[in-house]
A and B are shown apart, each in its own frame.
Chain A
Amino acid sequence: MVKLTDEQVDYVLNEIKARGVTIEDLQYNLLDHMCCIIENEIRDEDDFYQFVNAVFPQFFHENLVEIEKETILLVTFKNYYAMKKTMYLTSVLVTAFMILFSLFKIFHLPGAAALFVITVVLFSLLFLPLVILIKLKDESKKTEKMVYSFGFLLGISTSIGVLFKLMHWPNAGILMLSGVSIFTFIYVPLYYITQSRTTKDKYQTILLSILMFTVGGLMFALFDLNH
Chain B
Amino acid sequence: MYICPMYSSELLKGTLKTIVLNLLKEQGKMYGYEITQRVKMLSSDKIQITEGALYPLLHALEKQGEVTTQEEFIGKRVRKYYSLTEKGTVSANEKVNELSDFMLTLRFLLNLDSTSANG
Contacts and interface: CB of A to CB of B under 8 A. Distances in A.
Given A9-B76, A32-B80, A70-B52, A78 B59 contact: no
A61 B50 CA distance: 11
B55 A29 contact: yes
Nearest to A26: B55
Contacts of A78: 60, 63-64
A4 B50 CA distance: 23
Contact of B32 (A32, A60, A61): A32
A74 B60 contact: yes
B110 interface: no
B77 interface: yes
B4 to A, nearest CB: 13
Given A58-B3, A58-B50, A71-B60, A32 B55 contact: no
B106 to A, nearest CB: 23
Interface stretch (A33-41, A85-93, A180-188, A190-198): A33-41
B63 A75 contact: yes
A11 to B, nearest CB: 11
Contacts of A74: 56-57, 59-60
Interface string A57-99: 0111100001100110111001000000000000000000000
Interface residues of B, number: 25
A75 B55 contact: no
A223 interface: no
Contact of A33 (B1, B51, B60): B51
Interface string B40-81: 000000000011110111111001100000000011111110
A48 to B, nearest CB: 16
B43 to A, nearest CB: 18
B55 to A, nearest CB: 5
A31 interface: yes
Interface string A5-40: 010011001000000000001101111110111000
Contacts, number: 72
Contacts of B53: 70
Contact of A28 (B1, B50, B80): B80
B77 A31 contact: yes
B77 A29 contact: no
Given A32-B78, A36-B33, A59 B51 contact: yes
Nearest to A70: B56
Nearest to B60: A74
Interface in B22-49: 31-33, 36
Given A29-B80, A75-B59, A59 B31 contact: no
Contacts of A71: 55-56, 59-60
12 contacts: A6-B76, A9-B76, A25-B59, A25-B80, A26-B55, A28-B78, A32-B33, A58-B3, A58-B51, A67-B55, A74-B59, A78-B63
The 7 closest A-B pairs by CB, nearest first: A74-B60, A36-B33, A70-B56, A71-B56, A28-B78, A9-B76, A59-B51
Interface of A: 4, 6, 9-10, 13, 25-26, 28-33, 35-37, 58-61, 66-67, 70-71, 73-75, 78
